[in-house]
A and B are shown apart, each in its own frame.
Chain A
Amino acid sequence: MIVELLRKPKIINIGARNFHDSLIAQGADSVHVDWKPPAGGDQEMMKLLDKLDKL
């Protein structure tokens, strides 16, 4: 599987936008996730949501 990655990386960038911009500037295959803290950054609420997700 790593061999496939080394042949052709296809990237999902999550977080800092400028990394995505750099990838695009290099002609790489990249999409950007405009990440925001889940549950408004409330860690307890986040854990609850993750539990619900798994169900």
Chain B
Amino acid sequence: MVTRSLVRKNEYRDSIFLMRISKQLEELEGVQRASAIMATDANKGLLEDAGMLTDEIKGASSNDLVIVVDAVSSERAGEAISSVGGILAEEARKRVEEAEVIYKTLDSAIGAEPESNLVLISVPGEFAAREAERALRAGKHVMIFSDGVPLEDEVRLKRLGREKGLLVMGPDCGTAIINGIGLGFANVVKRGPVGVVAASGTGAQEVTSLISAGPGISHVIGTGGRDLHDEVGGITMLMGLQSLADDPETKTIILISKPPSPEVAKRILKAASEVGKPTVVNFLGGDPKIIEEINLTPAVTLEDAAAKAIALQRGEKPKGVTFSADLNEVKNTAEKEHKRIGPNQRYIRGIYSGGTFSSEAMLIVRDLVGDVHSNVPLKPELKLKDSNKSKEHTFVDMGEDEFTAEIGKPHPMIYHELRQKRILQEASDPETAVILLDVVLGYGAHEDPVGALAPTLREAKKIAERERRYLPVVASVCGTPQDPQNLTAQEKWLRGAGVIVMPSNAQAARMAALIVTKGGVWNKMVG
């Protein structure tokens, strides 16, 4: 193995662009590992851990782009390194060809585009608050996609925004849809009368994708995951709720969050009850009673929230969903799978790219089957000692920093390598009864996630087969047929790889529970 590196002085590129380069390099023949990253101290540390920190990179500064390659020979490594110049030049040529105006700073863009009203910020977390404050002071709404912004900055920015009547979506806001325009990670959804305020990006994606098949979506206002903490007090959710209340297009409202602090919950529910539009509330894992008491509609899952909003919009009585397909068909599908698993195959292994999907599935499986271990558990005592090692029922959220920080590997919705490894690892474990997955489509996500995952899933099934086991795989795909990746095609390819594809994350979790208990929870489920 040969390690080669190259430092390009004073050349800054964003992490998603660099991930693409890393991936292209890793696909070259003879290349084992490759990384194109900015030479920050944190990244140098990661390279050192990976045994890829060359002397040349040690001397680079945080403004330098470094490329490092592990290859079978120095020729292969050299070829890979020199291909980067071509990729960067091609990128620059495209920009010139499109005659696009590119601004160097936010201030210059604001100066040249005075009519602009929203700044979408995805710079590294340590710099995000600075740019957000500039945008707010210039009278622009902001969406902060970046995470790693200190809580006190969030509080300060949101108070400043409220004072000026400006929305601060985020930090760590993955998804918004404003008048049909998807920002960040968003699906292509039908326009319609249902408005969403969500503290969870993937939660909003699931709900809007499901509603897209029905009445459609007016707007999605993202708040970031900490908005409903005591310190922030739900500033953005309250402002988002008010704006949907004032919006003539929005007739029905959905609020999505993990359970907020009781004080914040009270304030939000009170505000929601005064809006005068039918409102569905999904506080994942929270108590539905307090919501019912003030005449709002509680929903226990994301799918439940979508179904109830659709019913309310149509003037029907809202009811929950367990399975949407014919029940006999569901039962038969589960039976066909569980008949083939052996007595030692006892546990569900959930491998998630969306944190909210992982939490939702854990809540469902906990109630049906029992405790679930995780790197982000429902109870502290269920935290995995080593996130790379499963124990009994285990669900991992691979979007957590502990996974994504590995040599600057971005989120598993974009980059599937870590998930692929984990799938094969679980397939080799004789105790694995079912592998459970989420797949997320839409703008921002991988261009063909099933294309990336299907060969791994086939390989996983083969690993089990070689050891005379049968390995069921259950998944759901979050997206719409209009997404660039096309939901219908992705689901079809997934089925082609032998996967049971369910229409929602919640139904996928129930199917996994049904298989692992060999149908034992059927009555409890459909009672």
Contact = CB atoms under 8 A, between A and B. Distances in A.
Interface in A1-43: 1-19, 22-23, 25-26, 28, 31-38, 40-41, 43
With most chain B CB atoms within 10 A of its CB, the pick from A8, A26, A36, A40 is A36
Contacts of A26: 180-182, 188, 443
Contacts of B105: 33, 35
A22 B103 contact: no
Given A14-B119, A22-B444, A40-B62, A31 B109 contact: yes
A7 B290 CA distance: 34
Contacts of B104: 33-34, 36
Contacts of B116: 10-12, 31
A26 B183 CA distance: 10
A10 B109 contact: no
B517 interface: no
Contact of B61 (A8, A13, A34, A40): A40
Contacts of A36: 12, 63, 104
A14 B182 contact: no
Interface in B235-286: 239, 242-243, 246-247, 249
Contacts of A37: 12, 62-63, 124, 127
Interface residues of A, number: 37
A18 B126 CA distance: 20
Nearest to A35: B123
Interface stretch (B140-148, B322-330, B456-464): B140-148
B275 to A, nearest CB: 15
A2 to B, nearest CB: 4
Interface of A: 1-19, 22-23, 25-26, 28, 31-38, 40-41, 43, 46, 50
Given A5-B118, A9-B183, 10 more contacts: A5-B167, A10-B117, A10-B118, A14-B109, A14-B123, A16-B122, A22-B443, A26-B181, A34-B104, A43-B126
